[in-house]
Amino acid sequence: MHFLFRVIVFFSVWGIFTAQGQKEDSTEEVKIEVLHRPENCSKTSKKGDLLNAHYDGFLAKDGSKFYCSRSQNEGHPKWFVLGVGQVIKGLDIAMMDMCPGEKRKVIIPPSFAYGKEGYDASTFCLLPQHPLPALPRAPTSGINRCLPWIPLPKAEGKIPPDATLIFEIELYAVTKGPRSIETFKQIDTDNDRQLSKAEINHYLKREFEKDEKPRDKSYQNAVLEDIFKKNDHDGDGFISSKEYNVYQHDEL
């Protein structure tokens, strides 16, 4: 995995298929059909894991396809962290306890998808909102939620209000999530349970030195400032374990 992707996923707040206004008290449920499960399944997905998967999205009403991950990013599977809101709630639920190599078909009710508002598929932003190297420029029109350097997927339709969705999912890899306690401790060199600008800057410097295309100091500083802008919610100049979002099953 590219080094800058690791940096981004450590700190970034993403908007990958994230739904707004989901109902927490709904009696509806996500229906899961296992199409294929490998015989050897020693590791399954859990909250906080970093997953690599392909998925196709269809409207249950008429079977029309509104999204195909294979048509994006030169056909490479998508990376995202499970259970932390980087995908719609229905997918967070549907992809729990999956094995690498497993295939599922899931039916997601509106309350765990895009609810009464629906969604315009042409605005899906499936990549971290940071400038990534070696990515094509985005089109200059039709951009609202995504920053100018974020390539937009080739959407095939809109999601109407109160739409039930069907996803066909194939999981390729399950790895330990980036915001684990191990990573936090690795960056927190003075063990004070918070990350200073100096600590994160030192970490970024090490990671940037691994890059095949070295960046200048101004670029590193811009990344550092963006990290604190998005994560230092109380503005005290540090990123606490809570702000860093160490997962609930981890302990400092």
17 has pLDDT over 60: no
Residue 95 token pair: 């992809």
Give me the architecture of the 15-175 domain, per CATH: Roll (3.10)
Residue 8: the pLDDT is: 52
Residue 248: the pLDDT is: 44
Strand partners, 36: 103
165 close to 57: Cβ distance less than 8 angstroms = yes
Strand partners, 238: 196
The confidence band for 137, taking pLDDT boundaries of 50, 70 and 90, is: very low
Residue 102: the pLDDT is: 97
Residue 39 token pair: 């015989």
Rounded mean pLDDT, 127-135: 30
Of the chain, the percentage scoring pLDDT greater than 90 comes to 35
Residue 128: the pLDDT is: 34
- Select the more confidently predicted residue: 132 or 43: 43
Strand partners, 196: 238
2 has pLDDT over 80: no
Token pair 């999981």 is at which residue? Answer: 171
Residue 158: the pLDDT is: 81
38 close to 62: Cβ distance less than 8 angstroms = no
Residue 101: the pLDDT is: 95
pLDDT tens, position by position, 233-243 = 899 999 888 88
Token pair 């969604």 is at which residue? Answer: 119
Task: Tell me yes or no: is domain 181-244 CATH 1.10.238.10.
Answer: yes
Q: Give CA–CA dist 229/173, Å, rounded.
A: 31
pLDDT tens, position by position, 169-215 = 999 999 877 666 777 888 899 999 999 999 988 988 887 776 666 66
The one-letter code for the residue type at 138 is: A
Q: Give CA–CA dist 151/84, Å, rounded.
A: 23
Rounded mean pLDDT, 226-234: 85
Residue ranges of domains in the chain: 15-175, 181-244
pLDDT tens, position by position, 82-126 = 887 888 999 999 999 999 999 999 999 999 999 999 987 555 543
70 has pLDDT over 90: no
* Average pLDDT score, the chain: 75
168 close to 105: Cβ distance less than 8 angstroms = yes
